[in-house]
Amino acid sequence: MSQSVRPNVTRVKISALGTYVPPRLLTNADLEKMVDTTDQWIAERTGIRERHVVDKGTATSDLGVGAAKQALAQRGIAASDLDAIIVGTVTPDMLFPSTACLVQHKLGASGVWGFDVSAACSAFLYALQTGAQFVATGAHQKVLVVGADTMSSIIDYTDRATCIIFGDGAGAVILEPAEDESLGLIDFLHEVDGSGGCSLYMPGGGSLNPSTHETVDQKMHYVHQDGGAVFKYAVRKMAELCEKILDRNGFKGSDVDVFIPHQANKRIIMATAERLTMNPESVIINIDRFGNTTAATIPLAMQTAREEGKLKKGDLVLLASVGAGFTAGATLLRWAF
């Protein structure tokens, strides 16, 4: 469920960050013309004003490559310098090959191996800790972790309960050994609760319900959500994991310099921050501009924090997510650049 960094393993740091969103915007005003909703209704309940969506023919691997190229350029290394690529996504280009294979090929990352992690909105945190273990044990020196989703590909734009929420985007980080032991990843907590699977899921397309005319007609290839159940679980579990990881490392909410939560709903974010008595200025929120980009929300919010001058070397950073599954996670780190 969790693992603290131990003295006999290498401390791991995030050494670079890159993000990418498609240029096309879908605003609340646009959605008013598509479904029975209003800008005010969406903004009051979710905090979202607009989201980015891909044009036809653009896939999750394309978004991931865009973010990866930025991270590689920031670090000043070639794709072939990487040891592994881990892609967190719930909207792979196809069931196989993995999106990691497609990203590897498009980057020209010769000699690199990789795989996908499917954990919905928690996929970036799960992929981050998976990659960190390879570096911590000395197996690898440079691991690329990508969180990318093309949610518009699985959204029913006649369903106002879901179409107002999601957007498309990608973020990527590079993980390396930390020369300074005071910086880097400190601890993490992960948890899944499969009893919540019926509250947020896509029923069609897998081995249980393979694609047929019937599954398409029944709209089984779109996101299905029980918003109330998801909201209640997210509010409780995000705060619970954040409290636990802070407490076992000797910190309080007020010690956190930057809180970067999954951007699912502004009310969930603020409820967590208030329960932890965090400084409101430490809470990063960009859901108004991007919506819920699933695996991409946390790296996109990292970039927002950097742009706003709120994320500096040595800052104590808390990351948190809750997603379909149910999946949940929290990561504590000292920012390294």
- Does pLDDT of 6 surpass 80? no
- Does pLDDT of 3 surpass 90? no
Summarize pLDDT for 114-133 with one digit per residue, the tens.
Answer: 999 999 999 999 999 999 99
- Does pLDDT of 1 surpass 90? no
Query: For all residues of the chain together, what is the average pLDDT?
Result: 96
pLDDT band with cut points at 50, 70 and 90 for residue 41: very high
- Does pLDDT of 47 surpass 80? yes
CB neighbours of residue 1 within 10 Å? 7
Q: What is the pLDDT of residue 177?
A: 98
What are the start-end ranges of the E strands in 178-310? Answer: 184-192, 200-201, 224-225, 258-261
Q: How many CA atoms lie within 13 A of 218 on its CB side?
A: 12
pTM for the complete prediction?
0.96
Q: Using the Cα atoms of residue 214, residue 219, residue 223 and residue 228 in order, give the sign of their dihedral.
A: negative
Q: What is the mean pLDDT of residues 127-156?
A: 98
Q: What is the pLDDT of residue 5?
A: 45
219-224: which pairs have CB atoms within 8 A and are 24 or more residues apart? 219/156, 221/154, 222/154, 222/155, 222/156, 222/159, 222/162, 223/151, 223/154, 223/155, 223/156, 223/162, 223/166, 224/162, 224/200
d(CA 144, CA 240): 29
Structure tokens at 125: 């945190």
Q: What is the mean pLDDT of residues 56-60?
A: 97
Q: Of the ranges 2-11, 105-114, 147-156, 166-175, which one carries the lowest mean pLDDT score?
A: 2-11
Summarize pLDDT for 81-102 with one digit per residue, the tens.
Answer: 999 999 999 999 999 999 999 9
Q: What is the mean pLDDT of residues 273-297?
A: 97
Catalytic site residue 163? no
Catalytic residue among 121, 163, 242, 286: 121
Question: What's the residue count for the chain?
Answer: 337
Catalytic residue among 101, 224, 262, 286: 262
Which residue, 118, 121, 184, 147, is CA-closest to 300?
A: 147
Catalytic site residue 262? yes
- Does pLDDT of 204 surpass 90? yes
Q: Residue 337 burial (CB < 10 Å; 0-12/13-18/19+)?
A: middle
Amino acid identity, residue 224?
H
Catalytic site residue 190? no
Q: What is the pLDDT of residue 147?
A: 99
Residue pair 331/272 in contact by the 8 Å Cβ criterion:
no
Q: What is the pLDDT of residue 9?
A: 86
Which residue, 190, 175, 193, is CA-closest to 299?
A: 175
Residue pair 140/151 in contact by the 8 Å Cβ criterion:
no
